[in-house]
Each structure stands twice: as structure tokens, then as C-alpha cells.
Amino acid sequence: MRVVAPDGAQIGLKDIDEALWLAEQLGMDLVEVAPGSDPPVCRLMDYGKYEYEQSVKSREGRKKSTRTVIKEVKFKTKIDSHDFDTKVRRAAGFLEEGHRIKAVVMFFGREITHPDRGRDLLDRMVADLEGIALVESPPRLEGRNMTMSLLPDKEGLKARAKAAVVAAEAADVAAEVSETPEPTPEPAETVSAEPEPNTETATEPAAVATEEQDAKTENA
């Protein structure tokens, strides 16, 4: 058999006993990796570690793989606005989860003679899902049903998510500003005004004294 080292280097042709002895000396396992070749190829490795690494890779691969599911949303041509809006919101939730949508308008009796009503409903659905969905296949009549396929609009959904984050941050800032108490103004100093002296009262005695002196002078 051809023996390969753990790093991929070629050790050479060895018989089974020598290869097993070499694996035992290195504390490795001897694993046959190419039994169909001539001679068969065996590799020295830590088989337990190898199995662990393979299981980790398998789990990572399953995480990265996305399972696409087709969700069906059905309408009647005479659906009322409330039920229509509810179904469109449900479709929006499916699209945000990464699923595809198959929208179906069902025609009953003579309704099939008015396919434009079904097309109007599907066009209205596309308009309501702008920024969330992309049309994969346009409306087409299949028997008594009109169908349309939608895909998630990945770029639009990213933009909506970013806008929602920005709006939430702005709301938090506004809430913090509204909760901050305004500073209380300091009370103004009160200045007591002293009464002005009554000049008229103060000058009356002097005026009386001057009149008396003038009278004495005239008598003399």
C-alpha cells in the first residue's frame, strides 16, 4: 500500500504490518482513503479529530444553506379591503423570512369572464409590497386561477431594516431630550427702595425763620 503522512507528504510503499507499526509509533490511525487505486492509498491521521472537523464543517454548511419555501396566498375576486390587507401583511412576513410567494386569485362561476379583476388585485398586491417583493413571474391565467410569483427584494429589505434602526435611534434621542428637566431659573434679587427725603418738609422751618428776621429788620 501507498502510505501518506498527515500533512499529505508521500511516505512511500509499505506493507500492512510496517504501516501499522509506523502509525502506532506516531500515535496515529492508519485510514484507507483510496481503496480502489493500485496500490491502495492509506493515510496516517488522528481519525477522531478528523471526524470532529468533518462534523463541524457539515454543521456550518447547513447553517449557510438557505431552504427556500414557497408560500401560497389565495384571494377571491370579491375580497374586501380588510381581508386583502391582512393577506398582504401575511405575505410581507413570509417575504421578510426569505420565502417566495405564490399569489393565487380564484375565479368562481362566471367570474372567469372578468380576468381583469384578478389582475387588478395582483397589481395592487405588488404596489403594497414595494420594497419588499420582486415579481418573479407576472400574473397569468391557469384554468380558473390567476397566479403570480414573488421573490424577496433583498436590497429593499436591507434598506427598510436600516431605516427602521435609524428611526429607532432618533426616537431614543428624542425621548432622552424630552426627559431632561429644564434648569430652574434663579430667583431675582429683591432691592428695597428707600423712600426719598421730603424736601418740602425739610425746608419749611428755614423759610419761617427768614420771614421773622425780615420783620424785625423792618421794625428797627
pLDDT of residue 46: 87
Instruction: Quickly list DSSP for 9-72.
Output: -EEEE--HHHHHHHHHHHT-EEEEEETTSSS-EEEEE-HHHHHHHHHHHHHHHHHH-----EEE
- Is residue 4 a contact partner of residue 10, using CB atoms and an 8 Å limit? yes
- What pLDDT, on the 0 to 100 scale, is given for residue 129? 95
Residues in the chain predicted with pLDDT less than 70, given as ranges, are 62-68, 179-220
The three three-digit cell numbers of residue 137, written as one number = 413571474
Which homologous superfamily is 2-58 in? Translation initiation factor 3 (IF-3), N-terminal domain (3.10.20.80)
- What pLDDT score does 184 carry? 62
- What is the model's pLDDT at position 202? 46
Domain residues of the chain, as ranges? 2-58, 70-156
Instruction: Indicate the fold that domain 70-156 takes in CATH.
Output: Translation Initiation Factor IF3 (3.30.110)
